[in-house]
Chains A and B, each alone.
Chain A
Amino acid sequence: MTTRIDTRFAELKKQGRSAFVTYVMAGDPDLTTSLNIVKALPRAGADVIELGIPFTDPMADGPSIQAAGLRALKAGMTLKKTLELVRDFRKDDNVTPLVLMGYYNPIYVYGVDKFLTDAKTAGVDGLIIVDLPPEEDDELCIPALKAGLNFIRLATPTTDDKRLPAVLANTSGFVYYVSIAGITGAAAANANVVGEAVARIKRHTKLPICVGFGIRTPEAARAIAEKADGSVVGTALVDALKNSLDAEGRATAKTVNAVAELTAALAQGVKGAQQAAE
């Protein structure tokens, strides 16, 4: 089965360029603004959209994404509304891959089977669930693959060669390489070290490798794009969003543009990259 993710990476490969993957939190700072932001991302140059599912206790996220989740929850965001947002986005865009990223509990409580049906119907292409390592594949990964969704796994600097095959076994769509041991938005990734890690993972899989955590600027995105099949930016976009809010944390006339402008600048960085020779 081919998903929008597979199609998009195949196209990019033909064009000889690396993917630009954007992360924003669903419902941040409110449902309507968030939908407008998600709609604006492909126009600004995002090749793949990661949409965060808000959760009260995001143990792998730094302060920016923690705060984004809490803003969304405060504005009444739920997993159900996150799926509605995806459905609304799909009314105008049937090609941009969209991946939900978050933690397992809201999905577990929603009900795995019902969630997979509803997510597929809404137009979700893949899932990244931070707290589901391969040891827990029976929970959601295997059912998601059966439902026709990609299950994108995180590989990290601590995932050694012995462990990589297990991590990659049920992975599909792409591999998300976490460039640093740490939480989102913390340290900056060193492009050379990342390049070595990407090469190491490539020896184990034919899937595209996207790199995230610690990429904030067009220059950093370009450096990573030269080493990997995609670069992911999240915290920097969430910070741009936050800086556009009013004193009470509400959206202003500038909010959607603030995210779109940074997305465009970062996309330019990625597109300026010289793709590493295969």
Chain B
Amino acid sequence: MNIAKPNSYRSGPDERGHFGIFGGRFVAETLMPLILDLETAYTAAKADPAFQAEMNGYLKNYVGRPSPLYFAERLTEHLGGAKIYLKREELNHTGSHKVNNVLGQIMLARRMGKKRIIAETGAGQHGVATATLCARFGLECVVYMGAVDVERQQPNVIRMEMLGAKVMPVQSGTRTLKDAMNEALRDWVTNVHNTFYCIGTVAGPHPYPTLVRDFQSIIGNETKAQMQEVEGRLPDSLVACIGGGSNAMGLFHPFLDDPSVEIFGVEAAGHGLTQLHAASIAGGRPGVLHGNRTYLLMDADGQIQDAHSISAGLDYPGIGPEHSWLHEVGRVNYLSATDEEALAAFQLLSKLEGIIPALEPAHAIAKVMELAPKRPKDHLMVVNLSGRGDKDVPQVGDILRGKK
């Protein structure tokens, strides 16, 4: 396909929510009026300095931002190439980047007068962040989570319940993130009058991919300033893992128009790309699901296929529409890492840096292990450490002891 290079990679979407052919608003009529309201509310909030000021206050004193940009000295030495920096999103309150977006959406929900918040979650990080901010602002919170994920991410289920959220295990379909999203949409259609759907990633109907991206772009904006301060220049490359792709989009977006910066997104290759996996760009093609057109894993009849990843947060058969576009225009390189590679990276980072990463960013570290040695020592590589691994300790412990 011959696709013209745009003047800017940061100008999307168009007024109908399209990034090239991707994105859009593929939802039931019941939801359409609310989605249009949300767009209006978001446009107004963006233009309101009081909204930004209030948000900055919570980002600083509640979330704990800015998150550090940390030079991973021993990992750099071990790999013997590029100088590796970790963007420490795992140090945020609630333990991942998810809180950046949830804070923004909860503040929007309050502006819109919505008292009931629903969310879907895979690994539970988005669910925990949503439960946390609902507790902080006294809002009712219902989190849909696939029954398989409830099982493998117990620590987060317990956290959500302690925070006062109701966790609804989803038994339909494959009982993972995609089904949690279906069930959240069904709840939303039913309770549209009082409910705000807090989507956890850069996917769903317009304006969600845009507003989630904007709330997460603080990651890349901080990185740019911090790198300028330490090294006096732009980084040479960025690496982040991708399920729906919100931590990656947050890091990448502020750098898209800096042509010297190489950008790598890492999808979950599961058991390998010829077997069960969750790499929508590597193994999928464009389709329509959950409100947007994007790369999806599906069969010849357009039926959505089961994804698989060791990481519940990446176990989704789609990807945010802006990523699909960035892939087609060639601005971002999409790679993939297997379960086995992610496990190895999980252990390496724990032992070398004293940082236990979540299984999700362990996929990004896995590709850093391949990319960094091939680059010179003055190459500055930033990897988004999007979440901490506490939630994965029981699961990984079982695997390493040969129980699973």
Contact = CB atoms under 8 A, between A and B. Distances in A.
Interface of A: 54-60, 62-63, 66, 70, 73, 78-80, 103-110, 130-133, 135-136, 153-160, 163, 167, 178, 181-183, 186
Contacts of A186: 190
A29 B138 CA distance: 47
B28 A57 contact: no
Contacts of B185: 59-60
B28 A131 contact: yes
A60 B185 CA distance: 8
26 contacts: A57-B173, A57-B290, A60-B28, A60-B189, A62-B186, A66-B172, A73-B303, A105-B289, A105-B302, A106-B302, A106-B303, A107-B302, A108-B287, A110-B301, A110-B302, A131-B26, A131-B27, A131-B288, A131-B291, A136-B25, A136-B26, A154-B29, A157-B30, A159-B32, A178-B30, A181-B193
Interface in B259-316: 287-291, 293, 296, 298, 300-304
Nearest to A138: B16
B34 interface: yes
A6 B290 CA distance: 33
Contacts of A109: 287, 298, 300-302
* B-side interface mostly: mixed
Given A59-B189, A60-B189, A135-B25, 15 more contacts: A57-B289, A59-B182, A60-B28, A60-B30, A79-B302, A104-B288, A105-B304, A108-B287, A109-B300, A110-B301, A130-B28, A132-B26, A136-B26, A158-B29, A158-B31
B178 interface: yes
A182 B173 contact: no
A181 B192 contact: yes
Contacts of B173: 56-57, 70
Contact of B189 (A78, A107, A108, A182): A182
A104 B29 contact: no
By DSSP majority rule, is chain A's interface helix, strand, loop, or mixed? loop
Contacts of A63: 172
B189 A181 contact: yes
Interface in B183-198: 185-186, 189-193
B6 interface: no
A210 B38 CA distance: 30
A154 B304 contact: no
B49 interface: no
Contact of A78 (B191, B293, B301): B301
Contacts of B30: 60, 154, 156-158, 178, 181-182
B302 A59 contact: no
Given A109-B302, A136-B25, A158 B172 contact: no
Interface of B: 16, 24-34, 172-173, 178-179, 182, 185-186, 189-193, 287-291, 293, 296, 298, 300-304
Interface centre among A132, A133, A160, by most chain B C-beta atoms within 10 angstroms, is: A133
B267 to A, nearest CB: 20
B121 to A, nearest CB: 17
A131 B289 CA distance: 9
Nearest to A62: B186
B16 A135 contact: yes
A107 B293 CA distance: 13
Contacts of A80: 301
A183 B183 CA distance: 10
A105 to B, nearest CB: 5
B360 to A, nearest CB: 23
Contacts of B34: 158
B28 A154 contact: yes
Contacts of A54: 303
A103 B182 CA distance: 13
Contacts of A110: 301-302
A108 B33 contact: no
Contacts of B27: 131, 133
Nearest to B178: A57
A55 B173 CA distance: 11
B304 A57 contact: yes
Contact of A153 (B29, B186, B289): B29
Contacts of B179: 57
Among B182, B296, B301, chain A packs the most CB atoms within 10 A around the CB of B301
Contacts of A133: 25-29, 32
Contacts of B296: 105
Contact of A59 (B28, B29, B193, B298): B28
B11 to A, nearest CB: 21
A156 B29 contact: yes
Contact of A159 (B29, B288, B293): B29
Nearest to B186: A183
Contacts of B33: 158-160, 163
A153 B28 CA distance: 10
Contact of A57 (B31, B182, B293): B182
